[in-house]
Amino acid sequence: MTSHDAVSAARRWSGQATIGHTGTLDPGAAGVLVLAVGRATRLARYILEGTKAYRAEMTLGVKTATQDAAGEVTATADATPIGRELLEAAIRLRVGQGYQVPPMVSAIKRDGVPLYRLARRGEEVVRAPRPITFYRIDLLEFRPGRQAVAMLDVECSAGTYIRTLCADLGDDLGVGAHLSFLVRTASGPFRLEDACTLEELSEEGMSRWLLPPAAGVTGWPKVVLGDADARRMLHGRAVTVDGGPHGTVQVIDGDGRLLAMAEARSLGDGRRLWPRVVLGS
């Protein structure tokens, strides 16, 4: 099932037409897929920017065309010489900021066409490396052998491809590798243990699982406005406040309701809040 399939099912069961997802999951992957409903879809880009976490199984000694188990095997090697210490050393070198070349099976578009569609036609295009960050890569289990298997816990920035991490680690070790299993355990503040299955969504209804829009933007600082400034913000007008944070902020009214996401810029000793997404009261 694709992310689009999950959105279509949620629309069908809920009768709500305005639903979108906030970060594609590959058809062969499982785990957290955050759905935004109604006016909360306006916040999708902020949720997309959140940190992601994954549990991934990597098989060393086998390279595939798609960097995962669904692709055609393109090369094999004996991974027996790879021990746990050697793998951990390679992992340490990948932690932190770096660059990653997106796979051809990604949803990134070239001239309006997703790369995966080009890949299905047998086409390959040059992809520019993109900045990414691995905040944490933990080796949970390792089974050595000709086709060694490693289980990883990964925390990374948005837009990072775990299949490419596995392929890169395999190349670093000289034996090749591919992603053989993947589950997303967190997307921003949303975690797998708090998620529902599609079956539960169908049986219990969407209202059982809905969270307020503010739940998706907890990582940004808050600015509280009084009634007059709150009304200006709701009409898409900038307001001035005394001090406070710079950059992207949540704009909250006196009752704690999320009104908008705004950009806070310096203005003398104060800040000017420019609305970027207005939710309404």
In the listed set 204, 219, 234, which residue is the last one of a domain according to the structure? 219
CA 8, CA 19: separation in Å to the nearest integer? 8
Give the pLDDT band of residue 11 (cuts 50, 70, 90): confident
33, 41, 105: which is closest to 68 by C-alpha? 105
> Residue 206 to residues 14, 24, 186, 218: CA-CA distances in angstroms?
6, 20, 20, 22
Higher confidence at residue 10 or residue 146? 146
Residues 123 and 203 both lie in one domain: no
Q: What is d(CA 9, CA 15) in angstroms, rounded to the nearest whole number?
A: 10
Q: Are residues 150 and 226 in the same domain?
A: no
- In whole angstroms, give the CA distance from residue 175 to residue 11: 45
Average pLDDT of the segment spanning 17-31: 83
Q: Where residue 74 sits, what CATH number does that domain have?
A: 3.30.2350.10
Q: Out of 1-5, 162-166, 243-247, pick the least confident.
A: 1-5
Domain boundary among 175, 201, 219: 219
Of the candidates 55, 42, 54, 53, the one whose C-alpha atom is nearest the C-alpha of residue 216 is 42
Length of the chain: 281
Same domain, 65 and 75: yes
164, pLDDT greater than 90 = yes
Between β-strands 52-60 and 96-100, what pairing exists: parallel, antiparallel or unpaired? unpaired
R_g (Cα) of the chain, nearest Å? 22
* Single-letter amino acid, residue 6: A
Q: What is the pLDDT of residues 196-218, one digit of tens each?
A: 988 888 888 888 888 998 999 98
Q: Using an 8 Å Cβ cutoff, are 28 and 57 in contact?
A: no
**177, 75: one domain:** yes
User: 24: pLDDT confidence band, cut at 50, 70 and 90?
Assistant: confident
Q: Do 60 and 39 share a structural domain?
A: no
114 and 25 housed in the same domain: no
Q: What is the mean pLDDT of the chain?
A: 91
- Nearest one of 137, 135, 72, 147 to 105, comparing CA atoms: 72
Q: Count structural domains, the chain.
A: 3
Same domain (yes/no): 24, 138? no
Mean pLDDT of 219-230: 93
Q: Are residues 1 and 93 in the same domain?
A: no
Section 157-186 average pLDDT: 96
User: Which residues, 6 or more positions from 160, have their beta carbon under 8 angstroms from its beta carbon?
Assistant: 52, 100, 132, 133, 134
CA distances to 91, 133, 152 from 138, rounded to whole Å, are 8, 14, 6
Give the tens place of pLDDT for each residue, 107-132.
777 777 777 787 787 877 888 899 99
pTM over 0.85: yes
Is residue 154 within 8 A of residue 162, CB to CB? The reply is yes
Domain with 248, as residue range(s), is 220-278
Chain-centroid distance, C-alpha 116: 18
For the cut 90, the answer to whether the pLDDT of residue 260 exceeds it is: yes
**Averaged over 246-264, what is the pLDDT?**
93
Residue 214 DSSP label: G
Domain-ending residue, one of 172, 187, 202: 187
Angle between helices 162-173 and 84-94 (to 10 degrees): 120
Active site residues: 26
170 and 111 share one domain: yes
CA distance 96 to 135: 6
Q: Is the same domain home to 179 and 56?
A: yes
Q: Are residue 93 and residue 177 in the same domain, yes or no?
A: yes
Is the pLDDT at 10 greater than 90? The verdict is no
Same domain, 1 and 71: no
